């Protein structure tokens, strides 16, 4: 009995894992609805398009005197010991996941304005809005997502998303 | 190669990978899980995890993450054949599930492989050891290892960037998983970049052949896998992968020993 049950459970999870590697949209929708813990894996590491750009969030506040300068929302950098100890990887991956989700949504949406209603956009907005005011007079905030390619002097930056203004405290 | 040894190594390696993650999350807990971080209550609520927003949950979460780390250490030390080991793994999995109520994003392949390995081990070993269920768990872990490499290999082989041999240079040039020194070397030696890129595709696509290969070739592929993950840890910072994936290799070797006509 125990052996049979174990075989059924493990076989079911493996078959579901195999299905999860396929582009079946109905399966993907089902998994997205029910697998909140991302238990089922998707194993296409760095393919088809390897991530070659770093993602950054910058924001600025509007005050009665005008805009402040852009400030980067700090996401920890990697250290020399990252092959063993890499605590910043979770925050960097969070930013990357939200950004990738936003890009996927943007490609799927018919109306660009609807991007503001996607979960990833709202997640990024909540993150930005939680940062302290740049000045006590700050009224509204705007953020932008930048992609950086390359290192050092050869690094180039490109704005991918520039938000509208949001009242500070609004989310 | 015995089932017990294969499961033992996979179980302990998976717990090391998870424990490393728990300890790293503890190190950045204030910043990452606080109300200004990416795992804040507000962001969890955006993703429909309203329960994770409560004050009680917030104050308990640090202890959940710490509990996961302690359970992971206890399980990795005790091993799967003890009474404590599988129960500690169950506790670690529960702590991870609770943590992910708030950490909606930032899951990675190493965490998924560790979870699948421990899930199989727990299904097989709780409430007590059983030779048949342990063998089933080893087969399951090996199947996931083969599936992961085959999927990654096929996806890369279908990608123009990977086929053109440009991917490793691109990744090494990135901020998130790159290595400026290696990126410079690869930019100066395009042939090396192409060779590395294609060898990754070849290795991942060839991985399933372990199951039907002679022992020497299987061993060579598994050693190539360990080298690959050491390289990824050093150059890309994929530290947990170093434990979660090579940890499954003895399970793959066990299955190869069973099914390959050459062993």
Neighbours of A111 (CB within 10 A): 7
pLDDT band at A170 (very low <50, low <70, confident <90, very high): low
Q: Report the residue of chain B nearest A10, measured CA to CA.
A: B140
Give me the pLDDT at residue A79, please.
79
pLDDT category, B248, cuts 50, 70, 90? very high
Verify whether the Cβ–Cβ distance A94 to B39 is below 8 Å: yes
Dihedral sign computed on CA atoms, order A74, A78, A84, A90: positive
In A, minimum Cα distance to B149 occurs at: A43
- Which of B 44-103 lie inside 8 A of A, CB atoms? 46-47, 97, 100, 103
- Do A96 and A20 fall within a single domain? no
Dump the DSSP string for B122-174: HHHHSSS--HHHHHHHHHHHHHHHHHHHHHHHHHHHT-HHHHTT-HHHHHHTS
- Paired strand residues for A57: A145
Are B112 and A38 in contact (CB < 8 Å)? yes
Same structural domain, A65 and A30: no
8 Å CB contact of A43 and B32: no
Residue B19 at interface with chain A, using a CB cutoff of 8 Å: no
Please report whether residue A44 resides in a domain: no
Q: How many CB atoms lie within 10 A of CB A88?
A: 20
- Which residues in chain A have their CB less than 8 angstroms from residue B25's CB? 87, 90
Average pLDDT, chain B: 96
The answer to whether A158 contacts chain B (CB < 8 Å) is no
**Between A169 and A13, residue with greater pLDDT:** A13
> Does residue A43 fall inside a structural domain?
no
- Whether residue A80 lies within 8 A of chain B, CB to CB, comes out as no
Q: Kindly state whether residue A8 falls inside one of the protein's structural domains.
A: yes
User: Domain for residue A46, yes or no?
Assistant: no
Measured CA distances, B194 to B12, B170, B245 (Å): 36, 11, 24
Residue A128 lies in a domain: yes
Residues A24 and A72 in one domain: no
The residue ranges of DSSP E strands in chain A, in sequence order, are 53-63, 66-67, 71-72, 140-149, 156-162, 166-167
How many structural domains compose chain A? Answer: 2
The alpha helices in B211-248, defined as continuous H runs, are 215-236, 241-244
Residue A42 lies inside a defined structural domain of this protein:
no
How many domains is chain B built from?
Answer: 1
Per-residue pLDDT for B105 more than 80? Answer: yes
pLDDT digits (tens, 9 = 90+) for B224-242: 999 999 999 999 999 999 9
Whether residues A63 and A125 share a domain: the answer is: yes
Host domain of residue B25: 3-259
User: Residue A17 sits in which domain range?
Assistant: 2-34
Q: What is the interface pTM, i.e. ipTM, of the complex?
A: 0.96
Residues A7 and A71 occupy one common structural domain: no
Of residues B128, B117, B115, B116, the one with CA closest to residue B87? B128
Nearest to A59 by CA among A70, A69, A67: A70
For residues A142 and A72, membership in a common domain is answered with yes
Q: For A88-117, what is the mean pLDDT? A: 93
- For residue A69, how many other CB atoms are within 10 A of its CB? 8
Q: Looking at residue A147, what is its pLDDT?
A: 93
- Is residue B243 scored above 70 in pLDDT? yes
* Cβ atoms B14, B114 nearer than 8 A: yes
Please tell me whether residues A74 and A129 are part of one structural domain: yes
Contact indicator for A87, B25 with CB cutoff of 8 Å: yes
């Amino acid at each position: 009995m125990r052996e049979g049950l174990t075989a059924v459970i493990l076989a079911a999870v493996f078959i579901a894992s195999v299905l999860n590697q396929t582009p079946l949209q109905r399966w993907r929708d089902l998994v997205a609805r029910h697998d909140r813990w991302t238990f089922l894996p998707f194993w296409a590491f760095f393919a088809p398009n390897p991530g070659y750009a770093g993602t950054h969030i910058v924001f600025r506040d509007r005050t009665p005197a005008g805009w402040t300068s852009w400030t980067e929302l700090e996401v920890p950098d990697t250290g020399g010991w990252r092959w063993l100890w890499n605590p910043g990887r979770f925050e960097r991956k969070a930013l990357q996941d939200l950004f990738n989700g936003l890009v996927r949504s943007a490609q799927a949406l018919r109306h660009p304005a609807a991007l503001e209603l996607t979960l990833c956009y709202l997640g990024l907005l909540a993150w930005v809005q939680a940062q302290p005011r740049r000045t006590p007079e700050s009224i509204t905030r705007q953020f932008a997502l930048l992609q950086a390619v390359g290192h050092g002097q050869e690094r180039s930056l490109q704005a991918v998303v520039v938000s509208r203004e949001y009242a500070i405290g609004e989310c | 190669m015995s089932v017990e040894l294969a499961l033992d190594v996979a179980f302990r390696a998976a717990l090391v990978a998870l424990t490393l993650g728990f300890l790293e999350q503890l190190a950045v807990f204030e910043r990452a899980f606080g109300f200004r971080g990416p795992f804040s209550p507000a962001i969890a609520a955006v993703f429909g995890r309203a329960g994770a927003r409560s004050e009680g949950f917030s104050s308990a979460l640090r202890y959940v993450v710490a509990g996961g780390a302690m359970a992971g250490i206890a399980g990795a030390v005790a091993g799967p054949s003890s009474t404590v080991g599988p129960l500690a793994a169950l506790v670690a999995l529960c702590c991870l599930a609770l943590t992910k109520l708030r950490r909606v994003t930032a899951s990675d392949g190493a965490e998924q492989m560790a979870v699948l390995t421990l899930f199989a081990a727990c299904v097989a070993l709780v409430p007590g050891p059983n030779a048949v269920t342990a063998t089933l768990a080893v087969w399951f872990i090996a199947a996931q290892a083969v599936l992961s490499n085959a999927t990654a290999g096929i996806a890369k082989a279908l990608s123009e960037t990977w086929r053109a041999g440009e991917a490793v240079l691109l990744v090494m040039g990135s901020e998130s998983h790159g290595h400026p020194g290696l990126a410079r070397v690869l930019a100066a030696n395009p042939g090396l970049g192409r060779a590395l890129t294609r060898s990754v595709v070849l290795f991942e696509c060839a991985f399933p052949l372990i199951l039907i290969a002679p022992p020497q070739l299987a061993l060579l592929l598994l050693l190539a896998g360990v080298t690959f993950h050491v390289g990824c840890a050093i150059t890309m910072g994929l530290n947990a992968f170093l434990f979660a994936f090579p940890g499954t290799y003895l399970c793959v070797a066990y299955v190869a020993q069973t099914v390959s006509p050459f062993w």
